[in-house]
Chains A and B, each alone.
Chain A
Amino acid sequence: MSSTPSLSDALLRVASLRVEIPTRHGALLALDDVSFEIAPGEVLGFVGESGAGKSLTGMAILGLLDPPGHVAGGEVWLGGRRIDALPPREMRRVRGREIGAVFQDPLMSLNPLLTIGAQIDETIRTHLPVGAREAAERSVALLRSVGIPAPEDRYEAYPHQLSGGMRQRVVIALALCAEPRLIVADEPTTALDVSIQAQVLALLRKLCGQKRTAMLLVTHDMGVIAETADRVAVMYAGRIVETGTVEELIRNPVHPYTRGLMGAIPPLGPVEGPLAQIDGAMPRLNARPPGCAFNPRCPDAVDRCRAAAPALEALGTRSVACWVHGPTAPRKAVQ
C-alpha cells in the first residue's frame, strides 16, 4: 500500500494481468497482458466468444480462479489497494464488501435450503456492523429496491419458489447489500428471457447509477453491451484486442475481429446477402498460433502478424492491438 503507482482516479486498475493453467503438457496461458481501468460509476463491458477469457478476467479480479488456474503475473488494484496477492481471509472480506458478484445462473448463487431473507441477512451481517433486526429491515428494503413485489412475503420464501427473473433480482440484492464499489456481473441476463432481461438490465443500470457503483459486465451479447456499458473491451484468445467507448466501437470498429463480430450480428432490418462471417473458430489454449492469435482467421493478415503479437496501443480515444490497423500501422492503413 506504500507505493501506489496509480495516477488516475480509476477505481479498479488491472495491469498486465496474466493467468496460467498448469497441465501435464505445460502451462496454458489463459490471460495474457490484460490491462484496463474502471472509473467509479462506470460500466465496462467485456465481450468475446466462449473461451476468450472474459469470465476468467472477472474471476481473477474476484480471486475466485478455479485451481490449478492462478494469477501468474500482473497486478490488480482496487482503490489504491493491491488485491491480487491478498491472503484468502482478507480477500474474503473484499469480496461482498467491496466487490459484489452476479453470475449467470441465480440458482448456483443461492442456497436452496435457506430462505431468501436469511441469505441476505447473513451477507449484510458478515460485512456490516449491524444487528439482526436492522439487517432484516435492510433486507426487505433491498428486495423492494430490486423490484420484488411483496418483499415482506418474499423474505420468507425459498429460492425454488421464485421465477428465474426474481431469483436474479435476489442475487443482485445480495451483490449490492454491503454497498460495494465494484460489481462483477458475469452474463447476468443470459439465462433470462428477453422481456425479463430488459427489466434486469434497467435495474442494474439504475442501481449502479444511484450509488456510483462501477461495473464490469461480461457478456457475449453485443446488444446488452450497447444498452448498458459506457466502454467496451473486446477479448480474443486471452487478450484484449480493442477497447473504446461503446459508440465508437459499434460505429467504427477498427480491429478486424471487432469488425467481424459486428458484421456477424444479424440485423433487424431486411438482409439480402449472407451475414458477414468469420471463418474458422477461436484457437484452443493449447493451439494458439504464433504472432497475433487472430491471424489465421484475419482477412488482412500480413507476415508481421504471423511473427509477433501486437500490443494494445492507443489510437485516438481507443486502444487497438493490431499491426495492420493499429497506431503502429503504415499511415494509409488507418481509416
Chain B
Amino acid sequence: MSAVDVRDVVRHFPVGQGLLRGAFGGSARAVKAVDGVSFHIRRGETFSLVGESGCGKSTLARLVAGLDAPTAGSIRFADAEQKGHRVQMVFQDPYASLNPRYRIGSAIAQPMRFQKLVPAAEVGSRVHKLLRQVGLADADAAKFPHEFSGGQRQRVSIARALAGQPSFLVCDEPTSSLDVSVQAQILNLIRGLQRDLDLTCLFISHNLAVINYVSHDVGVMYLGRLVEVAPTRVLFEAPKHPYTRLLLEALPRLDTRGRDRPPIAGEIPSPLDPPSGCAFHPRCPHANERCRVERPELRAEPDGAQAACHAVAERRIPVTVHGSANG
C-alpha cells in the first residue's frame, strides 16, 4: 500500500520577473525544475531520488514535504486525513538548520510544544529519550549548536525531526556535508530508526553508494524528470537508462584503477532551455531521430524497473533484465 502518491507533479519557476518585466512585457520563460514526475512510496519503505545538481531532486523533496506547492499535479498522502499524519524533514547543512541561539534541548522540544504532542511536564524526559535514541547524552540538551561537531549536529537535526513524531520523513542530502566515517554513523542511525519506527522516507542524495545503502526503490532524475525508477538491487545490477549507466560508470570505485575509458562528454543542459524530445539525447550515445523529437515516458520492464528511453523500449541497446542471468 502506498503511503504517498505523487502524480504528474510540475513545479515551474518563472524567471525574468521583476521591475523590468512590466516595462518590457515580460517573458513566458520558466525554469522547469520539476516537469511531470510520478512515483509512489510504500508504507515503511525508503524511496530515494538521485541525480546531479539542478536535476530538481531537492525541489521535489520540498514539494513532498509541503514547503512549496506544485504548479500542477498532486501529492497525496494515504493517511492525510488521519490524526497521526505528520511530515518532518532533515536538511543537508546541520550548521544552517539549527538556530545558534537555542539550546538544543529547546530546539528538540519545539515541535512537541508546537504540535502539542506531549504534556508539558513530559517534554523534558521525552527530549532526553530522543537524544539517547540518536546517540547523544541527556546532558547535551543544555548545550548550544556550536558546541557540537557536524555529525553530532546532524544527530540533533534527526532528533528534532523525530520529536514531531512523523509518519513520513524527508531527508535532503543528510550526509553530504559529513566525513565518511561520520556519514557511516548517520546512515546506520537513519536506517535503524526507519526500521524501528516504521517510517516512510523520501531520501535525496547525489551519492549512489549512499542511495544503495538506504533505499528500497530508487528514482533517477535528469532535468526535472524521472528517467528510471527501479527497486534498488535492480537499478544497481541491471541499470536500463543510458543516463543511469553513465552515473554508475562515472562513479569512482575502489576496485578500478586509472581507467582509460573516456568518460561520457557533455554537461547537463540549462533547465531554462531543455533539449527537445528526450532531454538526455545530446549526451546519449544511442540517440536517434525519434529521441530528438519525441519525449519518452516511463515504461515498465519485466524486472520491475521503469525506464523512459526509446532505445531501451525498442531494444536498440542491449538491456539486462535483473535476475534472468542467474536463471
- Residues of A participating in the B interface, judged by any CB pair closer than 8 Å: 49-50, 147, 163, 165-166, 193-199, 201-202, 205, 220-224, 226-228, 246-247, 250, 260-271, 274-279, 281-282
Contacts and interface: CB of A to CB of B under 8 A. Distances in A.
Contacts, number: 123
Contact of A165 (B188, B255, B257, B267): B267
A247 B26 CA distance: 59
Interface in B194-220: 206, 208-210, 212-213
A274 B192 CA distance: 9
A223 B249 CA distance: 12
A295 to B, nearest CB: 16
B170 to A, nearest CB: 20
B275 to A, nearest CB: 16
A195 B52 contact: yes
18 contacts: A194-B247, A195-B247, A198-B249, A199-B263, A220-B179, A222-B180, A226-B253, A226-B256, A262-B254, A264-B181, A266-B209, A266-B210, A268-B209, A270-B233, A275-B188, A277-B188, A278-B181, A281-B151
Contacts of B262: 202
Contacts of A269: 212, 236
B253 A227 contact: yes
Given A271-B212, A281-B182, 5 more contacts: A227-B253, A227-B257, A246-B257, A266-B209, A270-B233
Interface residues of B, number: 45
Contacts of B187: 266, 275
Contacts of B20: none
Contacts of A197: 250, 252
B304 to A, nearest CB: 16
B185 interface: yes
Q: Which of B151, B188, B263 is packed against the most chain A CB atoms within 10 Å?
A: B263
B252 A275 contact: no
Nearest to A43: B258
Contact of A194 (B181, B185, B250): B250
A193 B254 CA distance: 18
A195 B152 contact: no
B15 interface: no
Contacts of A263: 184
B53 A193 contact: yes
A193 B246 CA distance: 12
Interface in B146-187: 149-152, 179-185, 187
Q: Which of B151, B180, B264 is packed against the most chain A CB atoms within 10 Å?
A: B180
Q: Which of B179, B212, B248 is packed against the most chain A CB atoms within 10 Å?
A: B179
A82 B11 CA distance: 59
A268 B253 contact: yes
B191 interface: yes
Given A274-B188, A281-B151, A199 B254 contact: no
Given A227-B259, A266-B209, A260 B253 contact: no
Interface in B206-247: 206, 208-210, 212-213, 233, 236, 246-247
B325 interface: no
A281 B263 contact: no
Contacts of B52: 193-196
A279 B183 CA distance: 11
Nearest to A223: B252
Contacts of A163: 267
A268 B191 contact: no
Nearest to A270: B233
A261 B251 CA distance: 18
A49 B179 CA distance: 6
B118 interface: no
B120 interface: no
Contacts of B251: 194, 223, 268
Q: Which of B149, B192, B246 is packed against the most chain A CB atoms within 10 Å?
A: B149
Contact of B180 (A166, A202, A261): A261
B206 A198 contact: no
Contacts of B151: 281
Nearest to B53: A193
Interface in B246-285: 246-259, 262-265, 267-268
A264 B257 contact: no
